[in-house]
Every structure is written in structure tokens, then in C-alpha cells.
Amino acid sequence: MKVKNIIVAFVLLIVSACNENTVEPVLYGNLKGVVFSPDGKTIITGASVTTNPPTSAIVTNDSGAFSITNIPTGNYIITASKNGYSKGTVSISVVNGETSQAIIFLNNSSSSYTPGIPKNPSPPNQSANQQVSLMLSWSLQSPIYYSADSTLFDVYLYESGSTSDNKIASNITDTSISVLNLKYNTTYFWQVIAKGKDTNKTCSEIWNFTTQPLPNNSIVFTQQVNSNYQVLSMNSSGENSITLTTTNNRNWWPKLNRRYNKIAFTSDVEVEPQIYTINRDGTGLFKVTTISVAGYNNNGTGFCWSPDGFYLYYAHYDKLYRIGMDGSNLTLISTAPQNRNFRECDVSPVANKIAVHTVGSNIYESEIYLMNTDGTNNTLLVSSTGGKLEGPAFSIDGKKLLYCYDVSGFQNSTGRSLNSHIFSINIDNRDTVDLSFNKIGGTNDTFPSYSPDGSKIIFTNSPNDGSALPSIWVMSSEGINRTRLMINGTMPDWK
């Protein structure tokens, strides 16, 4: 028994010794990599590369590359460092018999650096026919030491002939900026300054571009912008709209004068509405009147140009005046009938006649008269029979007159219309035609005038409950083919 126990103990000792001395095979792989600056293009030479767990410590060669061969498989953290740079690390797995690839980026740790030169402008240098609202953009030529996060840009934009630079952006990080409402047919110069953290900077070339010619817009109108009204223009298709006024007040009732390339409108910038003129591109603001355009139910509407384009006719309470477009020769033309004020007027393009709309303190008490341009021979043409009456506008040949009338006959204290139609009246025989026979129900047609060739009528249509903003429409002179030009707009004039 004693011998047996000794044998068993010896066997267990042998087994135990075998278990403790078992050695797992060691597997090896390879590691290669490259150290770059953050742009991914500039290699960094002479950078120290170490691993954790530790293996070999090496330095990148002239190609920014490094290589460590025959290292045990497993997960490693690879660290690259060099004076003047912050350390860069990357995690990587080394697999048996394979070569793992590592790319490490080092950021310039210096407090200052010289950024690359801004280049590749858009729009291209010396380009023409550019939009008046566009995006300026550029790219940055890579420096030796590059840090995109640390590059700031100043952008200058100025008109040809300007005596001083106009900085439109300061310390932005984007390589683009939007510019709006430039002038038509104007050459602009621009430059980008790239800046480092301290005072180092680079400057682009001075680039230039020219904006497109001013569109030959034939329609002017008013649009509500927030709580204000602005004057705009557009072409006969309802496109290429241009905002011509931007002041924070009511600018409306625009009238186009093609002979002198002027647009007249009223503005309450000085509280009482006065007539101003601007060029067709919105420049050259000039105040024409000193006596306001006002009266019963008249808050700056109703004036018109004379056929020769030099004079303006307008109402001030019960007085109808004529004034030169330069503010000269103010002349009293006529005084309204008792208990009436003048509200709107239009001058015949061919005949020596003025059509005037008169109104009482109650807006539903109104008439349309014809008179000579010197104020004589005042003759009643249209009278209100209950509903709201507005207008007038002569045809191209002066034989017809457009006006609006609310056929519902509705009246209330706010001067609301329920079913305003556009009518055409023959001045000679008083024959009247309803041109709104296919109007949308629950809406009002207002502010009509003829197109330059007389074949169409432009007008405003709006819901009678104010549930939507008014829109601008056109139709044939017979009242057919109604077409909406734009969603938001009113008081159109087509010359």
C-alpha cells in the first residue's frame, strides 16, 4: 500500500508539472503608416512614432512613412509626435501574418501660422452677367502648416469707383458668403483675407465681376412686407421681380413713366403721404410734393402721370393739382363739388380729358366725372348706386374707361366690398360692359389698368374677407383668359 501511494503521488506531480510549463505559440504581424498634416496632403518627416504596448521607437522617413515589422499580434495605440505639433494617436489591431496600415494626423501646435492664399473665386474673376443676389466662394491653398479650424476670413466687396473698401464679413470660418440686392449693370471688386491665430495673414488677388443688365420690367406694383408696403417691378410674365423700396413704412400706388424712366409712388415716411420718384432700378429717390396726397378715404392713392410724362396730377382733399416731376409749377386744376373730395384720377392718353373719382366722408357716396385738363366742363360719367365705386383708368385710345363697382350694394362702416367687378364704359355712348363675369366667387376685382398695347387688363383680385393677401392677375380686354401672375401684390401699373 505504501508503494502504491508513492506511485500515485509521482504521477500527479508529473501531470502538474506538465500543466504549468505549457507555452502558447507567439504570433506576429507588421505595422506600416504615414504621418500627415490635417489637410491629408502634406507629409510630416522626422516625426517620432511609438507604440503602447511598447515595441520599437522609430522616426518617419522622407516620405513621412514608418514601418515596424515582426511585432506580436494584438491591439496597440500608435503615437506620433514632433516639435511644433500636438501629438497624434490612432488605435490599431495587428493580425497574424498581415500588415496593418495606420494614418496619423498632427496639428500644428504653434500659436501662430501663415494660412494658405485664398484662390479659385466664384463667380470667376472678370465674369459678367452675374445675378444681383449671389454666393461668393473661394478655396484655400494649403500652407506648409495648415489648421482649418484656426483660419478666419475677412471679405471686402465694393463697387467700381468707390473710394473706400466695404467689409461685408469679418472673422468667418466658412469659405463662402451670400450677398443680396446688388445693383444691376455694375462692376464689383472683392478680396478675401485669410488670417492665422495671431497677426499672420494672406491676401487673395482682387477679383471682379459685373452684374446683369437691368431687366426691362414693364409692370410695377405694391407688395405687403410684414406690416409695411414696398414697391416692386416685374416683367409681363410675372417674373424677374425687383424690390425697389426698402424703407420701414408704406410705399405704394406706383406709376411707371417710361419716357423718363421714372417710377412715382407715395410714401408716408414723413407721416403725411407725399409723392416721390425713383429710377427704374430703385436709385435716385426724389421728393416731388410738399402738399400731401390726402383727403376723404384717400391715404396716398389716386395720382397719375400726364401723357407727356413731365407732370403729375394728384388730389389734396377737395383740390386737384398738377405739378412738374421736378416739384415745380404747382397748379390748381379743379375744386371738387360740395361735400366731396377728389380721390383718384387718370388723364386720357390722346384726348384733352381727365377722369376723376370724387368721394364723400362716407366712401359709398362717390362718382366719376370727366373734365378738360384745365378743369373746365366737368361732366358726371358714373354715379354710385349703393356699392363701393373705385377707378378710373383710360383705354389706350381714350375711348373707354375702366372702373370698379361692388355689385352687391353692400355697405358698412369699414368700407368693405363683397363683390367688386371691373366695368368698361364707352365714353361717347355710355355703354357699359361687366368684365368680371367669370370672377371667382367671394372675391373682389380692383385696381384695373390696360397693358401697353391695350389687349389686356392687369388688376388685383383678393378674398372679400381678408383671409389671404391680394394677388395680381391679367385678362383680355374682353374679360376672358384670367391668369394669375403672382400670389402677393396689389395696385399694379403696366406701361
Is residue 180 domain-resident? Answer: yes
Confidence (pLDDT) at 92: 83
Give the domain-ending residue among 211, 246, 277.
211
Within a domain: residue 11?
no
Within 10 A of 396 (CB to CB), how many other CB atoms are there?
16
Give the single-character DSSP code of 339.
Answer: T
Asked if residue 454 and residue 330 are part of one domain, the reply reads yes
The pair phi, psi for residue 9, each rounded to 5°, is -65, -35
Q: Which of 181, 211, 241 is the last residue of a domain?
A: 211
Q: Which of 211, 241, 274 is the last residue of a domain?
A: 211
Whether residues 462 and 362 share a domain: the answer is yes
Please check whether residue 303 is in contact with residue 319, taking contact to mean a CB–CB distance below 8 angstroms: no
Read off the pLDDT band of 102 (50, 70, 90): confident
Tens digit of each residue's pLDDT (9 = 90 or more) over 273-289: 999 999 998 999 999 99
In a domain, 8, yes or no: no
Those residues with Cβ within 8 angstroms of residue 83's Cβ, 6 or more apart along the chain or in another chain: none
The CATH number of whichever domain residue 87 belongs to comes to 2.60.40.1120
Task: Check whether residue 273 and residue 139 sit in a common domain.
Answer: no
Residue 197: what pLDDT?
63
> Looking at the domain assignment, is residue 414 inside a domain?
yes
Identify whether 15 is part of a domain. Answer: no
pLDDT in tens, 200-232: 788 899 899 999 999 989 999 999 988 899 999
Does residue 462 sit in the same domain as residue 415? yes
Whether residue 48 sits in one domain with residue 168: no
Q: What's the total number of domains in the chain?
A: 3
| C-alpha grid cell, residue 495 | 406701361
If asked whether residues 189 and 224 sit together in one domain, one would say: no
Q: What is the CATH number of the domain that holds 204?
A: 2.60.40.10
The C-alpha cell of 422 is what? 371691373
> What does the pLDDT average to over 443-455?
97
- Could you report how far apart the first and last alpha carbons of the chain are, in Å? 131
Q: Is 483 helix (H, G, I), strand (E, B) or coil?
A: strand
200 and 68, same domain (yes or no) = no
Q: What would the pLDDT profile of 357-371 be if each residue is shown by its tens digit? A: 999 999 999 999 999
Q: Alpha-carbon dihedral of residues 78, 80, 81, 82, nearest 10 degrees?
A: 160
Q: Between 486 and 65, whose confidence is greater?
A: 65
User: Do the beta carbons of residue 171 and residue 196 sit within 8 Å?
Assistant: no
Q: What is the C-alpha separation between 317 and 335, in angstroms, rounded?
A: 9
pLDDT at 12: 42
Domain that holds residue 169: 118-211
For residues 295 and 314, membership in a common domain is answered with: yes
Using left for φ > 0, alpha for ψ between -120 and 50, and beta otherwise, residue 215 falls in beta
pLDDT at 10 over 50: no
Give the pLDDT confidence of 302-311 residue by residue, as tens digits: 999 999 999 9
Supply the pLDDT for residue 226: 86
pLDDT at 172: 93
Helix (H, G, I), strand (E, B) or coil at 20: helix
Assigned domain for 366 exists: yes
What does each C-alpha distance from 52 to 46, 107, 134, 420 come to in angstroms?
Answer: 20, 21, 53, 86
Residues 401 and 337 in one domain: yes
**Has residue 38 got a pLDDT over 90?**
no
**CA-CA distance, 194 to 175, in Å (whole number)?**
10
Q: Which of 143-157, 205-219, 471-485 has the lowest mean pLDDT?
A: 143-157
CA pair distance 14, 34, nearest whole angstrom = 52
- Does residue 163 share a domain with residue 59? no
Specify the range with the lowest mean pLDDT, choosing from 40-54, 115-129, 416-430: 40-54
Strands (E), 206-340: 207-211, 219-225, 228-234, 242-243, 251-257, 262-267, 274-279, 286-287, 304-305, 311-316, 319-324, 331-335
CATH of the domain at 313: 2.120.10.30
In this structure, is residue 113 part of a structural domain? no
Say yes or no: 134 and 225 in one domain.
Answer: no
Q: Which helix (H) or strand (E) holds 316?
A: strand 311-316
- Whether residues 370 and 412 share a domain: the answer is yes
Residue carrying C-alpha cell 396726397: 293
Residue 112 has pLDDT above 80, yes or no: no
Q: Residue 10 falls within a domain, yes or no?
A: no
